[in-house]
Amino acid sequence: MPNPVALCIEDCYPAHEGLRFLRCVAGSGPEFRLLLASDGRVLWRDEPCEAPVFCRLFVTGDERLGVIRDPGMPSGARVTRASRRVELETGRPVILVDGDYLAHPGRCYRIHLHGAAAGAAEPRYLQPGASGTAADEPARHTWARLAAAGVIAVTTLAGAGCPREQNVNEQSRVLTAAPPPVTAPVPEPPVTEPEKKTEPIETRFHPPDVAN
């Protein structure tokens, strides 16, 4: 079995700054299952979600980080690298490198690779300036805590399709409100990547052999 990979998933347009950087471990078995949902969550293992799920992150047999659109997942996810862009097709993994952008309707992320990981770990958000247990709580608890406190809300997507942080007094919806529809626009990456990253985006024509 390939070694797991440690990574951070950066939300380029987070609903709240506390949700910008998510520490994850990707691997090849069900204990590493990572799914990107339309409401901005990265689901781990069998975490329930009513929002559409667009793609799955995993580690290939040659220990590369890949992303795949499984059967039944809606279209709209894509990988961007410099001036290149690849739309995810069902059952055809795309290999990610450090700094790639991964986007789907309503969300845009940047992938930061940190090397081999010791084992499976539940995703956790990096909380700048945080102290106490909240600084190392599971991501699902962070979402629930911020939503219950009325700290964040997801606004209607417009223009580039980017959520924004709101003042508590402005809010009419909390984070647990209905996710953006599958027809929401796919946000563009916020910056231009270095020109030196010119290697083509690798798409493989067969899904991974390891079970989801």
Task: Calculate what percentage of the chain has a pLDDT beyond 90.
Answer: 50
Q: CA–CA separation, 155 vs 63, rounded Å?
A: 38
What would the mean pLDDT of 99-121 be, rounded to a whole number?
95
Instruction: Give the pLDDT score at 176.
Output: 41
Residues 54 and 118: their CA atoms lie apart, in Å, by 27
The CA distance from 70 to 91, in Å, is 6
pLDDT at residue number 169: 36
pLDDT for residue 103? 97
pLDDT, mean over the chain: 80
> Averaged over 48-57, what is the pLDDT?
90
- In this predicted structure, the answer to whether residue 37 has a pLDDT above a threshold of 90 is yes
Contact 104, 68 (CB under 8 A): no
Residue 35 has pLDDT above 50, yes or no: yes
Q: What is the largest CA-CA distance in the chain?
A: 50
DSSP 88: -
Helix (H, G, I), strand (E, B), or coil: what is residue 43? strand
Domain ranges of the chain: 5-170
Task: Give residue-wise pLDDT tens across range 3-13.
Answer: 999 999 999 99
Instruction: Tell me the β-bridge partners of 78.
Output: 87, 103
In terms of Cβ atoms closer than 10 Å to its own Cβ (0-12, 13-18, 19+), residue 131 is exposed
pLDDT reported for residue 205? 77
Q: Report the alpha-carbon distance of residue 40 to residue 179 in Å, rounded.
A: 8
Report residue 114 as tokens: 């940190």
Burial code (b: 16+ CB inside 10 Å, e: under 16) for 20-50 equals bbbbbbbbbeeebbbbbbbbbbbbbeebeee
Taking only the tens place, the pLDDT of each residue in 134-182 is 457 899 998 888 888 887 654 322 223 333 333 333 333 334 444 455 6
* Range ranked top by mean pLDDT from 19-33, 117-131, 137-151, 189-203: 19-33
Q: Dihedral angle at the C-alpha atoms of 105, 185, 176, 148, nearest 10 degrees?
A: 110
Predicted confidence at residue 125, as pLDDT, reads: 95
Q: Virtual CA dihedral for 143, 144, 145, 147, nearest 10 degrees?
A: 80
Sheet holding 21-26, edge to edge: 84-87, 78-81, 101-104, 107-116, 5-11, 21-26, 124-125
Residue pair 105/76 in contact (Cβ under 8 Å)? The answer is yes
Q: Just give the CATH number of 5-170.
A: 2.60.200.20
What's the one-letter identity of residue 35?
Answer: L
pLDDT tens digits, 61-98: 999 999 999 999 999 999 999 889 999 999 999 999 99
Backbone Cα Rg of the chain: 17
